[in-house]
Amino acid sequence: MVERKGVVTAKGNPLTLLGGEIKAGDKAPDFTVVDNEQKPVTLKDLKTKIKLFSVVPSLDTPVCDLQTQRFEAEAAGVPGDVGIFTFSMDLPFAQSRYCGAHAITKLKTLSDHREASFGRAYGVLIKENRLLSRSIFILDGNNIVRYVEYVKDISTHPDYVKAVAALKQIPV
């Protein structure tokens, strides 16, 4: 497994990411995660044409909470066949509780807690704490990665404006 040291930090402290770096233009790698009903979900199971993957360490932290709510709000204004998915290591029970408590209905939460398959495939698995590093990936209808942001310090927000602008530029 590829280890990428010091690519991201947590409040200035360097972390190690497991898995290779994904770049715009790459074919999106497959993964197996579980949904809120604990059913396996792979890339091909995500039926929307365009996909935005919002990756967070844990829904129960302030920045992750705000990131998820921001993309829930953005989902309402995105035209066409677009799906927004939040990935974390949170258990499906916690994700379901979170969605209910925050009226999250447009985006879907997916848990990587079993195999860390998504984290390894997208190069966002943090070695030191087995959480996912804050990041954004946008895939087109052919599952080609069109936008990537690995947030440099996981305690900070991604560039929402840039991500949404990139999402809206992909033809539906």
Active site residues: 64
Please, are residues 63 and 155 in contact by the beta-carbon 8 Å criterion? Answer: yes
In terms of Cβ atoms closer than 10 Å to its own Cβ (0-12, 13-18, 19+), residue 104 is buried
Distance from C-alpha of 97 to C-alpha of 99, rounded to nearest angstrom: 6
CA separation, residue 162 to residues 5, 58, 157 (Å):
26, 23, 12
Report the residue count for the chain. 172
The neighbouring-strand residues paired with 139 are: 51, 145
Closest CA to 58 of 68, 43, 71, 72: 68
Distance from C-alpha of 131 to C-alpha of 119, rounded to nearest angstrom: 8
Please, are residues 21 and 123 in contact by the beta-carbon 8 Å criterion? Answer: yes
